[in-house]
């Protein structure tokens, strides 16, 4: 099989990730080689989830060979930039409720594919969301720490997530409160950051205890926009949205569009 290496990304966690040209998989694709086989269970989980999803909001898996000797994956290459490149006062999202609600709707639709399988992503953040150049649709990355709520155990080492984006129940390891609504909180942080160019909370304590300030940087968002963010960023998960459909309904009341079927 002829293969041309275009770029090798910085090695992380004993994993070598390359951008390669491989015509067998449609041209440009991502090649992942995991050298530390102790990660086999996590890798298998991520691959199985992505294969089951099979939608535009997650990278497609072209090939995977995972055993005690080798972890090799060929994955769809997403041509675009992650959301960290869209944070700032010159971004199309800054002080733009419509653009923020459009991408929120897309992300909710994408995550609903995961939630409908009773799986939680657990690490929603700008670096894990790429905007495709071709159609400006978001693609959600890194399902390696996703949690199947039907499972009896949580990934070893705690609740996982990224400080500054994790829900209060994740940050303080409240396992009895953890669920799909934890992803909703992280979504709220991401959308807030896009709109204001800064996160709503400095740390886990603020996220769990302090109210959200909706008048930063001299911005004055509408009450309807505040309502959606407030609902996503509720401290207790049972005060957040009940499901994806209700988020979409509130968004559509502002920008229009169809509800989830």
Q: Residue 174's pLDDT is what?
A: 85
Range of the domain at 20: 4-76
Residues 32 and 139 in one domain: no
Of 114, 109, 167, the C-alpha closest to 143 is 114
Residues 71 and 188 in one domain: no
Q: What's the pLDDT band for 15 if we cut at 50, 70, 90?
A: confident
Residues 112 and 65 in one domain: no
Residue range 167-180: average pLDDT?
A: 88
Q: What's the pLDDT band for 155 if we cut at 50, 70, 90?
A: very low
> Which tokens is 163 given?
């400080």
Q: What's the pLDDT band for 50 if we cut at 50, 70, 90?
A: confident
- Residues 193 and 190: their CA atoms lie apart, in Å, by 5
Asked if pLDDT for residue 39 goes beyond 60, the answer is yes
Q: Residue 157's pLDDT is what?
A: 43
Residues 191 and 242 in one domain: yes
Q: Residue 13's pLDDT is what?
A: 62
pLDDT in tens, 75-96: 999 999 999 999 999 999 999 9
* Entry pTM: 0.90
What residues are annotated to the active site? 123
Strands of 138-140's sheet in order across: 80-82, 129-132, 138-140
Residues 45 and 165 in one domain: no
Q: Residue 10's pLDDT is what?
A: 83
In a domain, 17, yes or no: yes
Q: To the nearest whole number, what is the mean pLDDT of the chain?
A: 89
Which of 47, 76, 105 marks a domain boundary? Answer: 76
Asked if pLDDT for residue 184 goes beyond 50, the answer is yes
CATH of the domain at 55: 3.30.200.20
Give yes or no for a contact between 234 and 240, defined as CB atoms under 8 angstroms apart. Answer: yes
Q: Residue 156's pLDDT is what?
A: 42
Residues 250 and 147 in one domain: yes
Which of 51, 76, 101 marks a domain boundary? Answer: 76
Give, in order, the Cα–Cα distances in Å from 92 to each of 96, 102, 134.
7, 12, 17
Q: What's the pLDDT band for 54 if we cut at 50, 70, 90?
A: confident
The number of domains in the chain is 2
Between 3 and 145, the more confident residue is: 3
Which of 76, 110, 140 marks a domain boundary? Answer: 76
Residues 16 and 135 in one domain: no
Q: Residue 8's pLDDT is what?
A: 94
Q: What's the pLDDT band for 151 if we cut at 50, 70, 90?
A: low
Distance, CA of 261 to chain centre: 22
- Residues 102 and 121: their CA atoms lie apart, in Å, by 20
Of 112, 143, 156, the C-alpha closest to 44 is 143
Asked if pLDDT for residue 260 goes beyond 90, the answer is no
Q: Residue 178's pLDDT is what?
A: 86
Residues 16 and 105 in one domain: no
Q: Residue 159's pLDDT is what?
A: 53
């Amino acid at each position: 099989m002829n293969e041309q290496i275009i770029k090798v990304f910085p090695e992380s966690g004993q994993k070598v990730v390359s951008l390669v040209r491989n015509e067998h998989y449609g041209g440009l694709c991502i090649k992942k080689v995991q050298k530390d086989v102790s990660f086999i269970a996590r890798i298998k989980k991520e691959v199985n989830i992505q294969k089951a999803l099979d939608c535009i909001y997650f990278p497609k898996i072209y090939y995977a060979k995972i055993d005690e000797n080798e972890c090799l994956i060929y994955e769809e290459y997403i041509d675009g930039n992650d959301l960290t490149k869209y944070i700032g006062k010159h971004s199309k999202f800054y002080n733009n409720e419509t653009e923020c609600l459009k991408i929120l709707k897309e992300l909710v639709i994408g995550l609903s594919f995961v939630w409908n399988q009773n799986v939680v992503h657990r690490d929603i953040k700008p670096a894990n969301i790429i905007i495709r150049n071709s159609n400006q649709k978001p693609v959600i990355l890194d399902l390696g720490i996703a949690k199947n709520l039907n499972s009896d155990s949580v990934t070893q080492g705690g609740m996982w997530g990224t400080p500054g984006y994790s829900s209060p129940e994740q940050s303080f390891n409240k396992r009895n409160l953890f669920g799909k609504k934890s992803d909703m909180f992280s979504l709220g942080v991401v959308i807030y950051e896009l709109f204001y160019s800064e996160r709503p909370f400095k740390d886990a304590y603020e996220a769990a205890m302090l109210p959200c300030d909706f008048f930063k940087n001299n911005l004055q968002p509408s009450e309807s926009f505040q309502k959606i963010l407030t609902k996503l960023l509720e401290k207790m998960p049972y005060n957040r949205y009940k499901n994806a459909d209700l988020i979409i309904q509130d968004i559509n009341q502002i920008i229009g569009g169809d509800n989830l079927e």
